[in-house]
């Protein structure tokens, strides 16, 4: 059994003329939400064994802040293929994880997160509407990450930023 956490990056600043989308950083609210998500992951006892993130500024910053808040002791792997990527790219990133990891967190963008969530549970289209800093947890009935395929996971829970204060 593997545990999968999918996190959409937190709220980013609005881009300014001439700025690349890739370089947009988190807004103050986004930094607060990323910290709250990390704390929630720790409170729920779900600190992952591995974290993979898009290297885009807003996703990278979300991953780093959340990792610090949950006291993640490993190294965050940056995966360029997760930037502006469909859901299948998220699954490819998961399939590449080391077998020693029983759980993983992937931090990237929409609409890829909605696609990935749908693929994991075997639903077509956008089965989930994930807000910024939205976090989904899945249980995948596989022994090895490379065995992960469409419909091989079940949604365990879905947290929205407004729910985090209740934890």
Q: Which pTM was predicted?
A: 0.96
Q: Which CATH number does the domain 2-11+23-166 belong to among 3.30.565.10, 3.30.390.10, 3.40.50.1240, 3.40.50.2000?
A: 3.40.50.1240
pLDDT tier at 4 (50, 70, 90 boundaries)?
A: very high
Residue carrying structure tokens 């989930």 = 128
Q: What is the pLDDT of residue 125?
A: 66
Question: How are strands ordered across the β-sheet holding 76-78?
Answer: 76-78, 50-53, 103-108, 2-8, 135-140, 153-159
pLDDT tier at 128 (50, 70, 90 boundaries)?
A: confident
pLDDT per position as a tens digit, 30-75: 999 999 999 999 999 999 999 999 999 999 999 999 999 999 999 9
pLDDT tier at 163 (50, 70, 90 boundaries)?
A: confident
């Amino acid at each position: 059994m593997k545990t999968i956490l999918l996190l959409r990056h937190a709220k980013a600043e609005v881009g300014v003329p001439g700025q690349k989308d890739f370089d947009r950083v988190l807004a103050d609210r986004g930094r607060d939400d990323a910290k709250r998500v990390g704390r929630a992951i720790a409170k729920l006892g779900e600190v992952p064994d591995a974290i993979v993130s898009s290297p885009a500024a807003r996703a990278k910053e979300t991953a780093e802040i959340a990792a610090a808040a949950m006291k993640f002791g490993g190294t965050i792997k940056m995966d360029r293929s997760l930037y502006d990527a469909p859901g299948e790219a998220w699954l490819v990133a998961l399939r590449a994880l080391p077998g020693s990891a029983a759980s993983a967190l992937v931090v990237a963008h929409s609409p890829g997160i909605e696609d990935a969530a749908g693929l994991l549970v075997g639903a077509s289209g956008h089965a989930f509407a994930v807000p910024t800093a939205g976090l989904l947890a899945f249980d995948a009935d596989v022994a090895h990450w490379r065995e992960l395929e469409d419909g091989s996971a079940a949604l365990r829970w879905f947290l929205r930023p407004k729910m985090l204060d209740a934890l």
